[in-house]
Amino acid sequence: RFLRNLVDAVSAPEHHVRVLLTLRADFYDRPLLDPELGPVFSGGLVNAHVMTAAELETAVVEPARLVGADVSAALVGELISDTAAQPGGLPLLQHALTELFERSADASLALDEYRALGGLRGLLSRSSEALFLSMDPERQRVALQVFLRLVRVGSGAQVSKRRVPVGELTALTI
C-alpha cells in the first residue's frame, strides 16, 4: 500500500512530489521487481559511481574551507589513498574527518594527528570501542550478540557480513 501511494504521488501531474531514494547496489533489483514501482523507479534513476581522486579531494577540502578549516595537502593525499580502494570507504572518510575536526584546537587537520589516531580503521575502532565501553553490561551483551550474528567466519578465519532478518535480532533474549 505504501509503494502504491508513493507511485501515485510521484506519477500524478498535478502533484509536484519528488522522492529521493538511496539504495545499495545489492538491493537494486527490489524496486524493479514491483510492476508499478519499477517503471517509476528506473525513469529517474541516477547512479552514484566510485569517486575519482579529484572528487574525493573536493569532498574533503571544500566542506572544510566553508567552515574555515585547513586540511594539509599531505593529509588529503593520504585520505584519498586510504579511501579510494576501500569498499564503503566514504562513511569511514566522513567519520575520520569528523573526529579530526572535533579534536583540532585550531581547525587545522594534519597528517600526523590522523596517523596517530590510526587512520581510517583506527579512528573507527576507537569510536566503536568507546561507544561499547560506555554501555552498561546488559547492553554490552546485547550488542555483542547482535554483532556476532552480523558476521560470518569462513575458512581461514575469513570474515564477511551476513544479512540477518530483523526478527532474528528482535528475538534475542539476553
Ranges of beta strands (E only) in the chain are 70-71, 108-109, 151-153, 159-161
Q: Closest Cα to residue 93, out of 107, 112, 78? A: 78
Model pTM score? 0.68
Question: How many Cα atoms occupy the beta-carbon half-sphere of 156 within 13 Å?
Answer: 1
Cell numbers 576507537 label which residue? Answer: 126
Whole-angstrom Cα Rg for the chain? 21
Q: For 20-60, write each residue's pLDDT tens digit.
A: 888 877 788 888 888 888 888 888 788 877 889 999 999 99
Question: Residue 78: its pLDDT value, please?
Answer: 95
Mark the ranges of the chain whose per-residue pLDDT is less than 50. Answer: none
Separation of alpha carbons 93 and 84, rounded Å: 10
Question: Residue 58: its pLDDT value, please?
Answer: 96
Q: How far is CA 127 from the centre of its chain?
A: 15
Question: Residue 81: its pLDDT value, please?
Answer: 93
